[in-house]
């Protein structure tokens, strides 16, 4: 299918200032992310920036970019404006790839976009993968999702869901994640028309409590399709430790040729 990748990039990251421009083996992180997205089947890859410095970095490396307002409350609001600036039709498919995912798999982007074709009753598609570590299940920074038999999201939470009520109590058994526990991957596909409408929907109480924007979609009665990836995605960057780990990985890759 035909789709556009939009990459929201905000300069004033709370935990890692100027995160989109963080250097990784000589290139800004947002440029690495955009180049990975360009290896997908997307017809275009566009960074939605909030600052001239990000625009300049993208232009310098041949990445298409649009400058959006700096006061958007969410990345979805930023992408809604980007759709307007790009003149995307309401039926045009858009995949939202986070700018701090320089190891994003192009095949995952394609699979997420394909959900809009496979699930025409869903307004959004996203991704998940199986949780293997107990520490991830209990970590509130790892978002979990549970799905129904049709592969539609029932709920997203920072809490460990589903809760294995009758889990064995032995140390060996307790180290295993409960069946069907899935980690949500922050990639989204939608039509540009819904993305614009989403930005106008009132926030939901669940969204506010969990601090998870996608719960607004479920709260208003819409459906989200979920692609379960057989492999975990690459490292995303939230902290300086994450950034240093990525620099090491990219450095090793460059050294090995």
In this prediction, residue 172 carries a pLDDT of 60
Residue 250: inside a domain, yes or no? no
Task: Look at 254 and 82; give whichever has higher pLDDT.
Answer: 82
Higher pLDDT, 164 or 192: 192
Per-residue pLDDT reduced to its tens digit, 44-60: 999 999 999 999 999 99
Mean per-residue pLDDT of the chain: 90
Place of tokens 């819409």: 222
pLDDT at 25 over 60: yes
CATH number at residue 23: 3.90.550.10
What pLDDT does residue 7 have?
Answer: 96
Distances in whole angstroms, Cα of residue 181 to Cα of each of 10, 126, 144, 154, 247: 31, 16, 7, 13, 30
Confidence of residue 218 (pLDDT cuts 50, 70, 90): very high
Per-residue CA distances from 56 to 62, 67, 148, 243 (Å): 10, 10, 44, 22
pLDDT tens sequence across 112-127:
999 999 999 999 999 9
Residue 244 lies in a domain: no
Confidence label for 176 from pLDDT (cuts 50, 70 and 90) = low
- How many angstroms separate the CA atoms of 251 and 28, rounded? 14
* Phi, psi for 67 (deg, rounded to 5): -95, 120
In the block, tokens 């506010």 appear at 208
Whole-prediction pTM:
0.90
184: its two tokens: 């949500």
The confidence score (pLDDT) of residue 75 equals 84
Q: How far is CA 137 from CA 24, 63, 68, 158, 178, in A?
A: 30, 37, 36, 9, 9
- What mean pLDDT comes out for the span 205-233? 94
How many structural domains are present in the chain?
Answer: 1
Cα–Cα distance between 32 and 20 in angstroms, integer?
Answer: 10
- Structural domain of 221: 3-232
Q: Are 200 and 77 in contact (CB under 8 A)?
A: no
The angle subtended at Cα 50 by Cα 46 and Cα 55, nearest 5°, is: 55
- The whole-number pLDDT of residue 16 equals 84
pLDDT attached to residue 171: 61
Angle at 229 between CA 76 and CA 65, to 5 degrees: 35
DSSP 73: S
Encoded tokens for 112: 């997420």
% residues pLDDT > 70 (the chain):
94
Task: Examine residue 30 and state whether it is found in any structural domain, yes or no.
Answer: yes
């Amino acid at each position: 299918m035909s789709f556009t990748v939009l990459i929201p990039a905000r300069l004033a990251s709370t935990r890692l200032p100027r995160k989109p421009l963080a250097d990784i083996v000589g290139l800004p992180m947002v440029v690495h992310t955009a180049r990975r997205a360009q290896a997908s089947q997307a017809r275009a890859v566009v960074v939605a920036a909030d600052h001239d410095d990000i625009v300049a970095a993208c232009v310098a490396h041949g990445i298409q970019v649009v400058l959006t307002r700096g006061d958007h409350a969410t990345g979805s609001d930023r992408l809604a404006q980007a759709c307007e600036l790009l003149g995307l039709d309401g039926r045009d498919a858009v995949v939202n790839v986070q700018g701090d995912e320089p190891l994003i798999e192009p095949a995952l982007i394609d699979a997420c976009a394909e959900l809009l074709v496979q699930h025409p009753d869903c307004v959004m598609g996203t991704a998940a993968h199986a949780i293997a570590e107990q520490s991830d299940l209990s970590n509130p920074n790892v978002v979990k999702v549970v799905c129904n038999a049709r592969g539609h999201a029932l709920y997203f939470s920072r809490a460990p869901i589903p809760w294995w009520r009758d889990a064995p109590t032995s140390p060996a058994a307790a180290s295993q994640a409960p069946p069907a526990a899935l980690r949500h991957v922050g990639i989204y596909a939608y039509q540009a028309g819904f993305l614009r409408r989403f930005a106008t929907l009132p926030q939901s109480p669940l969204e506010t409590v969990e601090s998870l924007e996608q719960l607004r979609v479920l709260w208003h009665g819409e459906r989200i399709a979920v692609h379960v990836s057989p492999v975990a995605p690459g490292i995303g960057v939230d902290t300086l430790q994450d950034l240093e780990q990525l620099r090491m990985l990219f450095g090793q890759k460059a050294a090995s040729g």
